[in-house]
A and B are shown apart, each in its own frame.
Chain A
Amino acid sequence: MSISRRNFLAAAALPVALAAPRISHAQAGAGRVVIIGGGFGGASAARFARDNFPALDVTLIERSRSFSTCPYGNLVLAGRRDMNSITFGYEKLAARGVRVVHQSVVAVDAAAKQVRLAGGAQIPYDRLIMSPGIDLRWGAIEGYDEAESERMPHGWVPSLQPISLLRRQLEAMPDGGNFIMVIPDNPFRCPPGPYERISMVADYLKRAKPRSKLIALDAKNGFSKQPLFQDAWAELYPGIIEWRGASSDGRVMRVNAAAMEVETEFGEKLKGAVVNVIPPQMAAKIARDAGLANQSGWCPIKPATMESTQVEGIHVLGDATIAAPMPKSGFVASSHAKHAVACIAASLAGRAPPAATFFNTCYSHVGPDYGISIVGVFRSGPNGFAEVEGSGGVSPRNAAMTAERRKEQRQLEALYADGWYQSITDEMFG
């Protein structure tokens, strides 16, 4: 349909639309956008749509009334933040004109373009955005299921288990007890997250339990910002952290939660006073049920528009997607969200999608006044996403800087991490 014909039809429909509740349909580019999931992707999409595309009618469906972020959860674990400071409500988004519905989605009917809620209501849409987040693969590590995760917390999906459970276990741990961490292979939510967690737990142990050790058992041989983390661990936490990669028998195959024991690939058994298991992951159930995930458990998307390659009319965002080399981070989910909303608005107005540029800035706290980062700028190509040549990368290593500059760089990045957190959460929930 040409734009002029669309405008003509829209104008002809105006008197009828005035009498109907969906008045916005009369405007060029109008349409009903339904967003499932109120995390970094979904909340950013709702805010961006409201701020930039007034002709869009925006509904956000999120089962929880509050949202605790994954970012800064590790600081709660270290006792440097409290839960309140990382928990947000949806009132401000509602006040901005987003229709916020706190119900579970039981089914997505892509053919009829509607979403069925647990209460029985059907929500119709013109375009659907799904920012579903992740599920944990229970049983992928033998013996590790949802029930056992009470004894061996994951602390990785705040809607399933608040980080406060692991915090309580860490506080109750006797001085001299071992804290064991089990870390999965790629891909998983927040690539630097486990290593920030190692740092923050070590920070707590150094202060509160100086006789304790942290043993990190990793299913892979390398990780995000690895040289920076390991430089910092040697500098700040000598003798506290032992990290073992896959080639040093770091892969954990099974756990025995009753015995607080984990077993590695080559059969070594280790007991922990506290055991934190971050298991392998996949796209959340709602996305898998809607047919958005492929055999990998993650959701393939069209790089130009974030639309599912498997189900027409559904844009998928954030951690659930296959979007490498972009990491599964909150900033990236927010960047996905804005692009998807702009593509939807363009499509409803009969225009081509805008050029795609995506951003990521991921800070990690490794100690007091000691922050490091990885940044990336990405574009869509015909076959996927690519980082812009020459851009991005990690903070400089210690050896690359004078002692004075090193101190300043780490301090500033810790400060900027706090600023990033304030800015991005304000944008979503403020």
Chain B
Amino acid sequence: MHLKITLCFLFLTATPAFAQAADTPLLIGGCQGCHGASGQGAQGIPSIKANHSRDEFIAIMRAFGANERPATVMGRISRGYTPDQIALLAAHYARPQ
């Protein structure tokens, strides 16, 4: 219980620090492990590179997290990210605006 409270606190306080330059390369590590270095996909794993607008990308991740979009692993994964982190992922992987 103590740990949960600490983590919530960390999420809140960590948010402003997410502007750091290293954050996007670190965050996309979770995506690259399966979707490939540039998000191109591999062996049936879908491409996530420039397929969607930022808003669509964010909506898809939220739908995965809410179990509103069919998924094998993405529901379990997407719930691990904060909204700020999902916004950074969207900025990285979405179609150029």
Residues of A within 8 A of B (CB): 48, 51-52, 331, 334-335, 338-339, 342, 345-346, 351-352, 354-355, 357, 359, 361, 373, 375-377, 379, 381-382, 386, 388-393, 395, 409, 412-413, 415-416, 418-420, 422-424, 426-427, 430
Contact = CB atoms under 8 A, between A and B. Distances in A.
A376 B20 contact: no
A338 B4 CA distance: 25
Select the residue from B20, B27, B35, B76 with max chain A CB neighbours within 10 A. Answer: B76
B97 interface: no
Contacts of B20: 346, 351, 354-355
Contacts of A345: 22
A348 to B, nearest CB: 12
A426 B6 CA distance: 37
Nearest 4 CB-CB pairings of A with B = A377-B80, A391-B80, A359-B30, A419-B45
Contacts of A393: 76
Interface residues of B, number: 36
15 contacts: A52-B25, A338-B26, A339-B26, A345-B22, A354-B17, A354-B23, A377-B81, A381-B3, A382-B6, A388-B79, A416-B34, A419-B41, A419-B44, A423-B37, A427-B32
Given A345-B22, A355-B18, A391-B80, A386 B7 contact: yes
Nearest to A343: B22
Contacts, number: 134
Nearest to A424: B33
B77 A361 contact: yes
Contact of A375 (B41, B45, B77): B77
A420 B4 CA distance: 31
B45 to A, nearest CB: 4
Given A420-B33, A423-B35, A346 B26 contact: no
Given A357-B85, A379-B10, A424-B33, A416 B73 contact: yes
Given A419-B42, A426-B36, A413 B80 contact: no
B34 to A, nearest CB: 5
Contacts of A422: 36, 42-43
A156 B73 CA distance: 27
A338 B6 contact: no
Contacts of A339: 26
A229 to B, nearest CB: 17
Contacts of B72: 373, 395, 409, 412-413, 416
B86 to A, nearest CB: 12
A331 B31 CA distance: 11
A355 B17 contact: yes
A427 to B, nearest CB: 5
A334 B28 CA distance: 12
A415 B36 CA distance: 14
Given A390-B79, A419-B45, 18 more contacts: A335-B33, A342-B25, A354-B26, A357-B80, A361-B33, A361-B34, A375-B73, A379-B10, A381-B7, A386-B7, A391-B76, A412-B44, A416-B73, A419-B34, A420-B45, A423-B34, A424-B33, A426-B37
Contacts of B45: 415-416, 419-420, 423
Contact of B73 (A52, A357, A361, A418): A361
B48 to A, nearest CB: 12
A390 B26 CA distance: 21
A376 B17 contact: no
Contact of A391 (B25, B26, B77): B77
A52 B24 CA distance: 11
A359 B29 contact: yes
A342 B34 contact: no
B14 interface: yes
A392 B42 CA distance: 22
A124 to B, nearest CB: 25
A331 B29 CA distance: 10
A377 to B, nearest CB: 2
A209 B44 CA distance: 32
B46 to A, nearest CB: 9
Given A48-B25, A52-B25, A413 B10 contact: no
B39 to A, nearest CB: 10
B30 A335 contact: yes
